[in-house]
Structure 1
Amino acid sequence: MSENHESIQHPFYEETIESKPIFQGRIISLQVDTVRLPNGETATREIVRHPGAVAVIAIVDNKMLVVEQFRKALEKAQVEIPAGKLDAGEEPEAAALRELEEETGYRARSIVHLQSFSTSPGFAEEIIHLYFTDDLEQGEVHLDEEEFLTCEAITLDQALQYIQDGRICDAKTLLAVSAWRIRTLTGSF
């Protein structure tokens, strides 16, 4: 993320003195920054760089589309809302439409941006752009070569049970279920 004038003026701003690249992967990179703290002392910050991602709350027939896939970092299968990383130069809305169809086989005729949020601001710059749609038509699943998942449409009660069972435990899907529940109860987000 680029620094803006507002953050530089913040009393807790940490000036970067040195930045060392440590790892460059296909999706993320890792760097270690030496920073000057507000009290004049120095410290190091390990920072994960990530291109950003999108996620979609997609509702069809009063059910939310979810995908189940194995997550190596957790060593277990997870149920999550459709999501994926931004490709270089890709606009978040276009990525959301692409990921939704690739993973679920549904195409959104319209989509609404709900919120963009940090996933782990203590060490990563990743931002997820969360979208909503209930305006869907059948398309085609186009999974990436290394992607293995199943898609299902679940009720709100099923989603809450999946949370209880630990099948849903990632932040974006927990947020999605909470937002969906609020919309179900109040009619809006």
Structure 2
Amino acid sequence: MKLRTCRRVWQGRVFTVEQAEFEMARGARKLDIVRHGGASVILSVLKRNRILLIRQARPAVGRVIWELPAGTIGRGESPLACARRELAEETGWRAGRIKHLISFFPSPGFCDEKMHVFVATQLSFVGQRLEPDEELTVRTVTLKQVLDMIQKGLIHDAKTIVALLVWQLNRKKHGRDS
């Protein structure tokens, strides 16, 4: 695959849209591509494997949904710094320890956004600092409860499902079954 042409057709606050043409094995292919700086997702684990979830309105899907705290990586900001910032802003907790779990492309068919999932432990409460337009609720759930929520279809957010299932698989692999 070789890029032939590319032009920006829209620039927004969070992402850019480009129209590109690629030379592929079977000929030229035109695509609209969303360029996004990436995001960090934080799986916060309190004592006794309790997990911090947030519930917030997501106008793009017309629902209020349960999800893990997450946010867009700022210009010049590392994924780790973004994770720490979003954890404190959205939940009011600070991590004493934070470890990278996995990175993935949530929609590689049209978008280059890369999500970085971190597991935060040794948490201490420092006070929530929501942005003026943010309205969300923080809830603490057990690992069993959140896995049940996924199985029952109560969690619709892919980044949350990926993060929790990969974390649970790693726990089982290392003999820390729930």
TM-score by length of 1: 0.86
What is the CA distance between 1:79 and its match in structure 2?
0.6
Matches within 5 A, 1:56-95: 56-61=42-47, 62-95=49-82
Instruction: Determine which of 108, 131, 141 is the counterpart of 1:121.
Output: 108
2:162 maps to what in 1? 175
**Mapped partners of 1:175, 1:112: distance in 2:** 16
The DSSP-based 3-state class of the residue aligned with 1:119 is coil
Matches within 5 A, 1:28-107: 28-39=15-26, 41-61=27-47, 62-107=49-94
The DSSP-based 3-state class of the residue aligned with 2:97 is coil
1:110 maps to what in 2? 97
What is the CA distance between 1:49 and its match in structure 2?
0.4
**Mapped partners of 1:106, 1:179: distance in 2:** 23
**Mapped partners of 1:25, 1:177: distance in 2:** 31
Relative to total residues, which structure has the larger strand share, 1 or 2? 2
What is the CA distance between 1:23 and its match in structure 2?
1.2
The DSSP-based 3-state class of the residue aligned with 1:110 is strand
Q: Deviations over 1:162-182 (max 9, x none)?
A: 224433122211012213433
Letter in 1 for 2:61: L
What is the CA distance between 1:183 and its match in structure 2?
4.7
Q: Deviations over 1:23-45 (max 9, x none)?
A: 11100111110111123x21101
Letter in 2 for 1:114: L
**Mapped partners of 2:166, 2:111: distance in 1:** 24
RMSD over equivalenced CA pairs, Å: 1.5
State the structure with bigger RCO (CA 8 A, min sep 6), 1 or 2. Answer: 2
**Mapped partners of 1:154, 1:118: distance in 2:** 27
**Mapped partners of 1:166, 1:144: distance in 2:** 29
Letter in 2 for 1:78: I
What is the CA distance between 1:108 and its match in structure 2?
0.5
What fraction of aligned residue pairs are identical, expressed as a percent?
A: 36
CA contact (8 A) 1:67 1:82 kept: yes
Aligned residues: 174
Q: Deviations over 1:37-61 (max 9, x none)?
A: 123x211011000010001111112
The DSSP-based 3-state class of the residue aligned with 2:21 is strand
TM-score by length of 2: 0.91
CA contact (8 A) 2:101 2:167 kept: no
**Mapped partners of 1:157, 1:182: distance in 2:** 14
Gap runs ≥5 in structure 1: 1-13
2:176 maps to what in 1? 187
1:134 maps to what in 2? 121
**Mapped partners of 1:187, 1:67: distance in 2:** 25
